[in-house]
Amino acid sequence: MEQISSCTLDCQDTCSIVAAKNRQGRVVLKGNPNHPFTRGFACAKGRRALERITSPLRITTPLIRTGDKRDGVFQPASWDRVLDLVAKKIKALCSVPASMLHVRYYGFRGVFSEGSNYLFDRLGATSTHGALCDNAGCAAFLADFGALEMNAPEELLNAGHIVNWGKDFSRSSLHLGAMVNQARKRGACVTTISPGGDGNSAYTDHAICIRPGTDRFLAGAVIKRLDEQGMILARASARATGVPSFLEILREQDMASLLTASDCSRSDLDRLSGIYSDPLNRPAATIMGWGIQRYLFGGENVRYINALAFLSGQIGIGGGGSYFNVSSGRNINAGWADRAGKPCRTLLLPRIGQEILAADPPIRFLLVDGTNVVNQAPDSLTIKRALETIDFKVVVDAFMTDTASLADVILPCALDHEREEIVGSCFHNMINYSRALFPPAGEARPDFHIMADLAHRLGMDFPQREEILATCLNTPFVDTSGGHGTILAKLKETGFLETCHPEIAWKDLAFAHPDGKYRLPEKLNPEPLAPPGFPLHLLSLVNKDFIHSQIPEAAQKGLPRVWINPESPVMAGLDLSEPVFLATGLGRMAVSLCFAEGLHRLTLIIRRGGWIKHGRCVNPLVEPLVTDMGENAAYYSQYARLEN
């Protein structure tokens, strides 16, 4: 018998999953063929959920560190013992809530994922601000349009051109890639703009190799060309503020300088100008990857690409539009979590190590859930050093990660398909139901249950799951007929429901700003120069097989691989018969050197997620830089070199 669940990992595809037994009687997970976006297949990350659930290395009982803080060992303990201890530590600090820090990120998504935020906001504890993922791009869209809206993904099938600005369809969204190839079969031509080193060749008709982080200059060059040719549409200009001053910024720029800044050619400019100049006959859809906004001027990159789409008349039309993401929570009512209150202060997440060390009053208690923050945030060794100064640390996790290994108490959590969840996507318009297909392994518990039990021990009220389920689905749905009973019952029965959003965003060019007008960038910042001795842009890109640091330890053998163009000028200074090291201003690590033809010649790629304790994590070498918008970690503005 088949059962429907959903993936709740930090991924825009948010797949609907079907669980069934194969001929050997083993449960297998596959994509739901009835789901409009999943369409019957799932990526390796989602299919591997059972490997994580059944891993022999999984933590399935609460653990307490005994003996010396640094060298002590973990011993199993009962839930009552560990939660009583955690509650005791919290009660002792309630008079100084700022001394307690809660760090949560998106290890899983859904309506119940807000449980720990509710608890610690009620306590008034210190929390975090800023982001490690997509905040710069989201802030850019809010600045431009006033809201996070975009055309429905299905509108890509009506595109004459698709400009893929930096998204790796082979790794970050297989379903979007499949839709792009479907559009190609219907006549769309796909142009990919990236530094290379991706798997986009199977999804691309023409590739443009760009210098990392310089997308705004290429977009600006195309706008300048369209302006010179009189092709900036009057309709679009009338619906924006500051058009003359924005165009003046580009008129003052030398076209050759813009192209040189991005390492692009006149033929690249000609191609893109042709694509964006014919919105009525062959609309152009622009898809932006999340990498283009992980630079010091990442928000500006996104804003210039949006400006190109807007001023060329590609916004508000079928087959056009600018795609980045929408809020994954826009279709789910999480107002219950907002009623908890506000943290007494927040620390900047991309610089969390430095922030903890400088905190006054100092942090004495820490609870981390939904993130392997030591591994995933920049400047990892400073974070590790900062955590070692905290008196008592609690980590909710299922594996002995780089963060969990520093804890005093580890609380084992349920994983995907072991807990009930309702989850929205940050790309498509479906709400999915994630069923608890299996009981939690051993003594593991869902995060929400852990927080509810802890709240009870603190004498605090905590929301009831039934109340949350009854009120979280307050959005209009396309079709709720044919079900039995409530909307929730229909969702559980079908596994997903489609919410009501316009197929074409901003069709009337009335935007979400108070005056209804679009906003254009007010400046064009130069790209920072590479520091002396570090000529290479270091890009820690998405892994195809595992999400972030959720990598089995058995898959972390040997040296981490890095990719470089064999014609890169730095190759002349390397002796390949000797060990090779990747170095930044923060240190160096041994690597295995691989070659990728077509990669920008001053670019170095490493796949993210490896663990520090296995010598495979690059984040100890990444400085805690912050983007121009959204307080996002500017991972990709890290410069590096290779050395023997």
- Looking at the domain 536-643, which fold is it? Barwin-like endoglucanases (2.40.40)
Q: What is the mean pLDDT of residues 296-315?
A: 98
Using DSSP bridges, classify how beta strands 206-209 and 189-194 pair: parallel, antiparallel or unpaired.
Answer: parallel
Q: Cα dist. 354→344, 379, 387 in Å?
A: 19, 9, 11
Domain ranges in the chain with CATH number 2.40.40.20: 536-643
Q: How many helices (H) and strands (E) does the chain have?
A: 19, 27
Q: What is the mean pLDDT of residues 362-375?
A: 97
Question: In this predicted structure, which of 95-104, 366-375, 429-438, 442-451 has the lowest mean pLDDT?
Answer: 429-438
CATH number for the domain whose boundaries are 63-131+334-414+441-473:
3.40.50.740
Domain ranges in the chain with CATH number 3.40.50.740: 63-131+334-414+441-473
Please give the mean pLDDT across all residues of the chain: 94
Alpha helices in 252-340 (DSSP H): 255-262, 266-276, 298-311, 335-338
Tell me: pLDDT of 521 over 90.
yes
Tell me: pLDDT of 273 over 90.
yes
Tell me: pLDDT of 595 over 70.
yes
Tell me: pLDDT of 578 over 50.
yes
Give per-residue pLDDT as tens, 404-460.
Answer: 999 999 999 999 999 999 999 989 999 999 999 999 999 999 999 999 999 999 999
Q: Is 625 helix (H, G, I), strand (E, B) or coil?
A: coil
d(CA 431, CA 498): 6
Tell me: pLDDT of 572 over 60.
yes
pLDDT at 10: 87
Give per-residue pLDDT as tens, 183-209.
Answer: 999 999 999 999 999 999 999 999 999
Cis bond before residue 56 (omega within 30° of 0): no
Q: What is the mean pLDDT of residues 132-141?
A: 96
**CATH number of 135-324: 3.40.228.10, 3.40.1350.10, 3.30.379.10, 3.40.50.2020?**
3.40.228.10
Give 644's Cβ-side CA count (13 Å radius).
Answer: 9
d(CA 156, CA 318): 8
d(CA 327, CA 306): 18
Tell me: pLDDT of 34 over 50.
yes
Question: In this predicted structure, which of 404-418, 474-488, 596-610 has the lowest mean pLDDT?
Answer: 474-488
SS (H, E, C) 410-479: EECECCCCCCCEEEECCCCCEEEEECCCCCCCCCCECHHHHHHHHHHHCCCCCCCHHHHHHHCCCCCECC
Q: What pTM was estimated for this model as a whole? A: 0.96
Which residue is listed with tokens 């998504």?
A: 109
Reduced to 3 DSSP states, what percent helix, strand and coil does the chain have, rounded to the nearest 5? 30, 20, 50
Q: What end-to-end distance do the CA atoms of the chain give, in Å?
A: 57
pLDDT at 484: 47
Higher-pLDDT residue of 152, 280: 152
Q: Closest by alpha carbon to 505, among 515, 514, 518?
A: 518
Scored b (16 or more CB within 10 A) or e, 208-232 reads bbbbbbbbbbbbbbbbbbbeeeebb
Please, which residues bridge with residue 417 across strands? none
